Amino acid sequence: MIKFKKNIINRKPRRILRRPKRHIITATILTPEEILKEKLKLLDINEKKKKKIIKEKKVSVT
């Protein structure tokens, strides 16, 4: 599995906004163990987000 990371570089900030941004894509090749770790990380992040959303909703209701 190859994980892609996009680094966006602006050549001239603010002067020319119409020119599309250059995308530099760096690929890191992951071993199966690292893939599992990444998936676990994503699951943890999703659970935290869900908890935060639930807390915010409860606060807004009261």
- Give residue-wise pLDDT tens across range 14-24: 555 565 556 65
More confident residue, 1 or 54: 54
**35 vs 30 pLDDT, higher one:** 35
Look at residues 48, 46, 41, 44 and name the one whose alpha carbon lies nearest to residue 3: 41
Q: What's the pLDDT band for 59 if we cut at 50, 70, 90?
A: low
Domain extent, residue 31, equals 2-61
Q: Looking at the 3D structure of the chain, how many domains does it have?
A: 1
Q: Report the pLDDT value the prediction gives residue 33, as an integer from 0 to 100.
A: 77
Q: Which residue has the higher pLDDT, 20 or 31?
A: 31
